[in-house]
Amino acid sequence: MTAPDEAGVDIWTDGACKGNPGPGGWGAWLRWGDHERELFGGEKVTTNNRMELTAVIEGLRALTRPVPVTLHVDSQYVMQGVTSWMAGWKRNGWLTRDKKPVKNQELWQALDTELARHQVRWVWVKGHAGDPGNEKADELANRGVPR
Catalytic residue among 43, 58, 114, 138: 138
Task: Work out the burial of residue 48: count CB atoms within 10 Å of its CB; fewer than 13 is exposed, 13-18 middle, 19 or more buried.
Answer: buried
Q: Tell me whether residue 10 is one of the annotated catalytic residues.
A: no
Catalytic residue among 59, 74, 114, 133: 74
Catalytic residue among 10, 27, 41, 52: 52
- Helices 105-115/48-61 angle, 10° precision: 30
Q: Tell me whether residue 14 is one of the annotated catalytic residues.
A: yes
Q: Tell me whether residue 74 is one of the annotated catalytic residues.
A: yes
Q: Tell me whether residue 58 is one of the annotated catalytic residues.
A: no
Q: Tell me whether residue 128 is one of the annotated catalytic residues.
A: yes
Contacts with 122 (C-beta within 8 Å, 6 or more apart), sequence order: 71, 73, 79, 82, 83
Catalytic residue among 19, 38, 106, 128: 128
Catalytic residue among 10, 14, 43, 114: 14
Catalytic residue among 15, 27, 81, 133: 15
Distance between start and end Cα atoms, the chain: 28
Rg of the chain over Cα atoms, rounded to whole angstroms, equals 15
Catalytically annotated residues: 14-15, 52, 74, 128, 138
